[in-house]
Amino acid sequence: MLADKKILLCVTGGIAVYKAVVLVSKLSQAGAQVKVVMSRSAMQFVQPLSFQVMSRNDVYWDTFDEKESSVIAHIDLADWADLILVAPTTANFIGKLANGIADDMPSTILLAATAPVWIAPAMNVHMYEHPAVLRNIDRLYEDGYRFIEPSEGFLACGYVGKGRLEEPERIVELVDAYFNESRDLPLAGKKVVVTAGPTLERIDPVRYISNFSSGKMGYAMAQAAVEMGAETILISGPVSLESPKGVKLICIESAAEMLDAVLDYYQDADYVVKSAAVADYRPMTVHDQKMKKKDGTASIELERTTDILKTLGAQKTTQRLIGFAAETTDALTYGKGKLESKNLDWIIVNDVTDPNGGFGSDSNVVTLVSRDGVEHPFPAMEKKELAKQLLKAIVQEGKRSL
């Protein structure tokens, strides 16, 4: 599967180093050439010899130990790799990389690298949630690093939670998918922002206004974007879905929070896909205490939320804007109206009364309408498949109109 692919594995020091040995074995079995670089703390857990045997290559750990006089090892290794994996990646190493520190062989190589670098963290759940670690991860995302998020389960420290190094078999699958797709990755090098799910507008500490969006459509769009090679930021309202692998997930609650999060990423975005069902109104007053019931009717005064998509449309420079229109009547007419009034490039018109689609269902039926009025109807299909087909159509059409 990975014949002729050159993978440089940087191993940093945590108990999951033992899994890195299995990873080298699996990558080699899949046909990849693997070279291993270790931090000194990684060597406390597993001897370099294990990696040497598994990779059939020298193992590197000392920047000043130049094995070949004709080359400088850390530059040579950085240039050699088609892909660099850092697995496991410690909190310390994430901190060093986020701050450009090069004080050992793996960190020096990474500063010299031009190949894609994937980071697979492994650490205690509380370390992974520490604000400094999260800040450093955010910075690395911004610098273009890709993450293989840790999985949840029993951790060596005794805790149960997120922090386990992803299983070697899964990492090999991701690497394989990357090389397969990179032959035809239409969104490689692009940044895609996707919104998903409902927003929730508080009335008091126990009540809120929201809608029936499950987030399935938006999460499928984010997954399709990442599979097509995009750096993908998923801004999600409250849903009970697992984040697609490889996306940067930002959780928000209200329309106002979604607006702030989208604006944070808007300038650099190539595509913004607004699948979220954003509340159009919110209560004018949010009560600090639970509102007491009284005899007779009650009313809540509502005010408009900001139309996020319209705001983006007004500020648009090079970004491509894709809206969804959830309609219950005259879907195409209303959808086209939104395309125009919000200054969009495409609108995905979603008649949510269709029994094969809409809110909560695993499938959907939509019509993609482009700015010049071309309509492209998609029959009922799984949201995951639909998302791929929609993005492909958008990218192809976008290329033609550039």
Q: Which residues are catalytic?
A: 157
Minimum CB distance to ligand PMT smaller for 190 or for 338: 338
Residues that bind ligand PMT (CB under 6 A): 213-218, 255, 274-278, 280, 305, 307-309, 323-326, 338, 350, 352, 358-360
DSSP 349-391: EEETT-TTSSTT-SEEEEEEEETT--EEEEEEEEHHHHHHHHH
Which stretches of 237-328 are DSSP H helices? 255-266, 308-315
Minimum CB distance to ligand PMT smaller for 153 or for 337: 337
Minimum CB distance to ligand PMT smaller for 155 or for 222: 222
User: In this structure, are strands 151-154 and 160-164 parallel, antiparallel, or unpaired?
Assistant: antiparallel
284 with 309: CB under 8 angstroms? no
Cβ at position 274, least distance to ligand PMT in Å: 4
Q: How wide is the angle at C-alpha 170 spanned by C-alphas 112 and 10, nearest 5°?
A: 25
Cβ at position 159, least distance to ligand PMT in Å: 33
Cβ at position 207, least distance to ligand PMT in Å: 20
Question: 14: which 2 tokens?
Answer: 């945590």
3-state secondary structure of 232: strand
Question: 4: which 2 tokens?
Answer: 């002729």
Q: Residue 145 to residues 26, 38, 151, 222: CA-CA distances in angstroms?
A: 23, 19, 18, 17
Q: Residue 171: name the closest of 19, 45, 58 by CA.
A: 19
Cβ at position 377, least distance to ligand PMT in Å: 15
Question: 71: which 2 tokens?
Answer: 């080359």
Residue 158: Cβ-neighbour burial (10 angstroms; 0-12, 13-18, 19+) = exposed
Instruction: Kindly report whether the peptide bond that precedes residue 88 is cis, defined as omega within 30 degrees of 0.
Output: yes
Which stretches of 5-82 are DSSP H helices? 17-29, 48-55, 73-80
N-terminal to C-terminal alpha carbon distance within the chain: 35
Cβ at position 239, least distance to ligand PMT in Å: 8
Minimum CB distance to ligand PMT smaller for 115 or for 203: 203
Minimum CB distance to ligand PMT smaller for 13 or for 218: 218
Cβ at position 304, least distance to ligand PMT in Å: 8
User: In this structure, are strands 302-304 and 281-283 parallel, antiparallel, or unpaired?
Assistant: antiparallel
Minimum CB distance to ligand PMT smaller for 107 or for 254: 254
326 with 350: CB under 8 angstroms? yes
Minimum CB distance to ligand PMT smaller for 28 or for 243: 243
Cβ at position 199, least distance to ligand PMT in Å: 8
